[in-house]
Chain A
Amino acid sequence: KNEVEQSPQNLTAQEGEFITINCSYSVGISALHWLQQHPGGGIVSLFMLSSGKKKHGRLIATINIQEKHSSLHITASHPRDSAVYICAASNFGNEKLTFGTGTRLTIIP
C-alpha cells in the first residue's frame, strides 16, 4: 500500500466545472506538495503547504493535518488544466518526498 494515496486516478470533466482531487497520507509529514505534470513529462510545483489553505489564481489547496488529508481544487476549469496532478508528502528533517500515483485530469471543451 502506497503511503500517499490519491483519488480519483482519472477524472474527465467539462470546461467550467469545479474540480476536486483528493490526497490521503499515512506518514508523518512536515509539508504536503501538489505538483502538475504536463504531457511530455515537465513537472511544475503548484503548492507546498503544512496547514490551512493556499490559493493561486483558480487553484486552491487545503490540508487537514488531523485527518491526514489534502485537496486540490480548480475553479472554472479549462482545457489547458488537463494534466496529471501529483500529491507528495515530505518528512520533517528529511529531503525525501513520497509521491502519490497521480490523478490524470482531462477537461473537455
Chain B
Amino acid sequence: ETGVTQTPRHLVMGMTNKKSLKCEQHLGHNAMYWYKQSAKKPLELMFVYSLEERVENNSVPSRFSPECPNSSHLFLHLHTLQPEDSALYLCASSQVVLPSGDGTDTQYFGPGTRLTVL
C-alpha cells in the first residue's frame, strides 16, 4: 500500500466510449503524474501537475484529457480512444521541494488501471 489509489483497476471500452480514470493520493504531496506503460516499452510520462497547475504534457493526443481539481485528486478523461491506447495507466505523486523546485522526491505509484480498447 503506497498511499496512492487508482480506480478502476481494469477497464474495457469501445472506441466510441467516454470514460474516466481516477487517482487519489493520501500522502499530502503537491505533485501528481499520469504515466502510460505499453508492453515492452519504457514508462511514458503523459501529464504532470505541480501545485494543481499542469507543467508538462509531452504532446499527448487530445483524446486524453487530464483534470486535477485539488492536490489529492487526479483524473484522466478518455474519449474516442484507439486500440493502440490499450496499456497500463499509472498514477504517481511526489513532494516537490519549494521554493527552488530543485530535484524530485521519490515518486509513489498507484497500482495502475489496465485499459483495453476494443
Q: Using CB atoms and an 8 Å cutoff, list the residues of chain A in contact with chain B.
A: 2, 4, 30-31, 33, 35, 40-45, 48, 50, 86, 88, 90, 92-97, 99-102
List B contacts of A30 (CB < 8 A).
102-104
Give me the interface of B with A, judged by CB distance under 8 Å.
2, 31, 33, 37, 40-43, 45, 48, 50, 55-56, 88, 90, 92, 94, 96, 100-109, 111-112, 114
Please indicate the chain A residues that have their CB under 8 angstroms from the CB of B108 in the complex: 45
Whether B104 contacts A43 by the Cβ 8 Å rule is: no
Residues of B within 8 Å of A97, CB to CB, are 43, 45, 104, 107
Question: What is the bound-complex CA distance between A102 and B56, given in angstroms?
Answer: 24
Contact between A31 and B2, CB atoms less than 8 A apart? no
Q: Find out whether the CB atom of A99 lies under 8 angstroms from the CB atom of B42.
A: yes
Q: How far is the CA of A45 from the CA of B105 in the complex (A)?
A: 11
